Structure 1
Amino acid sequence: GLEEHYIQLLSKTIHKELGPDARLEYSIIMENTGASGTSQASPYAVKMPMANQQAKKNPEIHLSTGIHDTPIKNPFVIPGLRKLNIDSNLNPNYSFGQFIEGECNRLARSAGFAVANKPGGTSFNPLLIYGSTGLGKTHLAHAIGLEIKERNPELTVLYVSSEKFTHQFIDAVRNNSVNDFSHFYQMVDVLLIDDVQFFSGKEKTQDVFFHIFNHLHQTGKQIVLTSDKPPVEMQGMEQRLLSRFKWGLSADLQVPSLETRMAILEKMMYADGIELPREVVEYLAYSITSNVRELEGALISLIAQSSLNKKAITLDLAKQMIDKFVKNTAREVSIDYIQKVVCDYFDLPLELLKSKTRKREIVQARQIAMYFSKKMTKSSLANIGLHCGGKDHATVLHACRTVNNLQETDKHFRKYLEDLEKKLAIH
């Protein structure tokens, strides 16, 4: 029965995985039973060598290009099963060659390069790169993917933001195709997920990602994650996922030093064929200290102003532009910072704001913190609620409505909001 029904399927699989010279041996477990039908002795195994036949070559399989004929629905809407023929979503400008190394990023870059040289074959699996906005997390993730594709064109490499992953999962749930969604991601050789902290508070998304992560890790595939914070600070993330994030290496990206900032500017100028006076480059590097993205933005703005106004780039022009640029650059505050400012203003301990207490003054401060968190950050309502004592998104919505109503009817309350908005704007 075994050979009659399954030998072709087994032969194809063995040929595919082990090569044409592989042989199959299998054991048949038989039980010795007495007259009563109960087992009288331990089962024994008989080794049965496969009949002397070679594993057959897989027949050519021609898949239809029509999406409805594809056995597994690809969430990127590109059909194909045997070999995932997908766009890796990698930006060719974000290569290792364009990434300036400094003390601020040396560990992350070195680990990234090691992973690119031997995907799935180092102890850096997963590799989690974390740091504040604009320090190069996304650039480094793309660089790893590009280098792997350059060295191993046959590997399926996929870069996807956690937000895109979540939206695809929601679509899969809606279309009753969650198994197809999971199977698709399990067939990838290298998975790069950007801003993994976006999964915070999304239990179902975390659950499906947990199973995809396990499958990829167990089959020796490479996983690269980026986040704005280390695992220990990720709130709203399941413990089983956080523990897996720590299996490999967590490498942080710090604010670049003055020398690194100058090297970044010089690299940009060289790439664009632009020359600037040394004093201008130094002034930009001294003035913009927060992150690389702002630094690049300042240089682009300066070149644009010079070109549009037909003015030479001088130190005076750089100073005028930087004054406006720094003033107009919106700095996103964090939920933690908002909570601190609110607690300082009302002279309340932070732990009370995050507690379950229903005292009127605490509830009001908590609602104001929720209101400013929704207004001044990109965090989801669920994430804001988590930071404010484990509340749900409905509680956050109610808090925002309450604050909006009170500021229209209570002048003292409106004064609180005006004072706090000024304090938060200084950040």
Structure 2
Amino acid sequence: MEKNANLVWTNCLSIIKDIVEWQHFKTWFEPIKPVALKEKILVIQVPSQFFYEYLEEHYVNLLAKTLKRELGKDAQLEYRIMVDGGNNYNKPVTVDVAGHGYKSFSNNEMDFPLVVNTPVKNPFVIPGLKKMHIDPQLNPIYTFDAYVEGDCNRVARRAGKTVAEKPGANSFNPLVIYGGVGFGKTHLAQAIGNDVKRLHPNKVVLYVSSEKFINQFVDHSRNNAINDFIHFYQLIDVLIIDDVQFFNKAEKSQDAFFAIFNHLHQSGKQLVLTSDKPPKDLEGVQERLLSRFRWGLSADIQMPDYETRIEILERKMKNDGLEMPSEVVKYIAYNINNNVRELEGALISLLAQSSLNRREIDLELAKKVLRNFVKSSSKEITIDTIQKLVCDYFDVAYDKLLQKTRKREIVQARQITMYLAKAFTKNSLKTIGEHFGGRDHTTVIHSCQTVKDLMDTDGVFRDNVMELQQKVQLASL
């Protein structure tokens, strides 16, 4: 069947939507319209110059690879950019996407060219395979500089820096990074890999998702090439496996990984693993593997607090050369509190709407755009609400929080309440202090720091605070 522009673009989108975040897909790919197909050149129409520039900066490699699947290695992409003059168009901007070295935009892409110098069907069975020919599969934008440190990730980030500086020669081997979806596990894991490549150019680094590892194992099993598969992975100096929880239904893949793990660890190589749960809670993973996961350090990443979310937004704006009113930044940080991915998605959507509608970013536009992210029924949390939640949780009378007493249980309850009030309300330190019997802002600062210190050293205390944070969030719904 002869292909036309609509069919080619539809097939491209079917691949792209499985790779790109849903909100990014709706923002950056749904508005694109296929215009024409001229031999190997697909012409697409985009709404603005800004739109074209954003696609070229962030998605050109993804567009290139999907288009080459449809039209072959000589595929090209041509943009038609709409301008203010109604139906008139700029002269089409043509971009040749063939023959370039691609950045690793995602580890979910359908091909996994571990060896980039020689095109072969099986990337593992190559006579005389040399280490330097192994593509690390790292996204260069994932760096430590771009990773904002906060109370939510401090231990994991600093452990990651230690691993990057001395891979395989530290006590954090393996380093297991665990936490919720969108908290930054993949970013941190790849930042380690990128830093190793920067500090130790001769080290062989490889990042791979557990799903890709399993799929590769299955392919090599069918070809009776499991030994080649294991041998390849044993060449790696720093192996980063993302989302190891998906090993739970792959018993034979676990056997292969066990052999790889043992060889690398005994050879002084570094392993970095990510998971949505700590090793002790991983179900369906062999105990012998879990015991090895516990040999090194398990570091958790928690939901970013309000201050960290603001810093994440400000860092991204600075890196992209953007400016935005502080009240808008605070509004986004206050209302988007699920994960970093959603936070950045909200910012991108706001920027896109500003560009497409040719409108300055203000609080009104932010509220309109963020309706897709913020529950309309959400209500603002007050200090009084937090005080009641903490009192109920610790079974402490409300008036006790206001009294000058040194009883440990009362002091800690008051300190936690101040900490949560600072994190979940927009009140000043002075206002928070006034709600606790007229205490001043220095008391609030001291209380917040005390809570942070105790969360780093006392597991039970940290669990209590985390549970209370969830209760506060639920109270806003």
TM over 0.5: yes
Q: Distance in 1 between matches of 2:268 and 2:313?
A: 39
Q: Deviations over 1:52-90 (max 9, x none)?
A: xxxxxxxxxxxx95859xxxx634x77752435111000
Q: Which residue of 1 aligns with 2:181?
A: 133
Matched, 1:268 2:322: no
Is the partner of 1:312 in helix, strand or coil? coil
Q: Distance in 1 between matches of 2:168 and 2:161?
A: 13
Amino acid at match of 2:320: D
Q: Which residue of 1 aligns with 2:344?
A: 296
Deviation at 1:272, TM superposition (A): 1.1
Is the partner of 2:249 in helix, strand or coil? coil
- Return the match for 1:95 from 143, 154, 175: 143
Do the aligned partners of 1:89 and 1:159 also contact (CA within 8 Å) in 2? Answer: yes
Deviation at 1:321, TM superposition (A): 1.3
Q: Distance in 1 between matches of 2:188 and 2:128?
A: 29
Matched, 1:122 2:122: no
4+ residue segments displaced more than 6 Å: none
Is the partner of 1:279 in helix, strand or coil? helix
Q: Deviations over 1:253-293 (max 9, x none)?
A: 00001100000000111111111001000000000011000
Q: 1:119 to 1:202 in 2, by over 3 A?
A: same
Q: Which residue of 2 aligns with 1:311?
A: 359
Q: Distance in 2 between matches of 1:67 and 1:296?
A: 38
Do the aligned partners of 1:66 and 1:79 also contact (CA within 8 Å) in 2? Answer: no
Do the aligned partners of 1:127 and 1:250 also contact (CA within 8 Å) in 2? Answer: yes
Q: 1:78 to 1:298 in 2, by over 3 A?
A: farther
Q: Which residue of 2 aligns with 1:378?
A: none
Q: Which has the larger radius of gyration?
A: 1
Q: Which residue of 2 aligns with 1:206?
A: 254
Do the aligned partners of 1:123 and 1:248 also contact (CA within 8 Å) in 2? Answer: yes
Unaligned runs of 5+ in 1: 1-63, 329-426
Do the aligned partners of 2:336 and 2:373 also contact (CA within 8 Å) in 1? Answer: no
Amino acid at match of 1:147: D
Normalising by structure 2, report the TM-score.
0.53
Q: Distance in 2 between matches of 1:212 and 1:219?
A: 11
Do the aligned partners of 1:172 and 1:181 also contact (CA within 8 Å) in 2? Answer: yes
Q: Deviations over 1:166-186 (max 9, x none)?
A: 010001100000000000001
Matched, 1:74 2:107: no
Do the aligned partners of 1:74 and 1:184 also contact (CA within 8 Å) in 2? Answer: no
Is the partner of 1:193 in helix, strand or coil? strand
Q: Which residue of 2 aligns with 1:157?
A: 205
Q: Distance in 2 between matches of 1:307 and 1:66?
A: 41
Do the aligned partners of 1:196 and 1:227 also contact (CA within 8 Å) in 2? Answer: yes
Amino acid at match of 1:120: G
Is the partner of 2:273 in helix, strand or coil? strand
Q: Distance in 1 between matches of 2:119 and 2:358?
A: 54
Q: Distance in 2 between matches of 1:321 and 1:221?
A: 47
Aligned-residue RMSD, C-alpha? 2.0
Q: Distance in 2 between matches of 1:324 and 1:81?
A: 50
Q: Which residue of 2 aligns with 1:237?
A: 285
> Once the two structures are aligned, what percentage of the paired residues are identical?
62
Unaligned runs of 5+ in 2: 1-116, 377-476
Q: Deviations over 1:146-165 (max 9, x none)?
A: 11011111111000011110
Q: Which residue of 2 aligns with 1:223?
A: 271
Is the partner of 1:191 in helix, strand or coil? strand
Q: Distance in 1 between matches of 2:318 and 2:210?
A: 33
Is the partner of 1:213 in helix, strand or coil? helix
Q: Distance in 2 between matches of 1:228 and 1:88?
A: 23
Matches within 5 A, 1:9-408: 67=120, 74-75=123-124, 80-326=128-374
Amino acid at match of 1:176: N
Q: Distance in 2 between matches of 1:79 and 1:151?
A: 29
Do the aligned partners of 1:137 and 1:226 also contact (CA within 8 Å) in 2? Answer: yes
Q: Distance in 2 between matches of 1:190 and 1:324?
A: 40
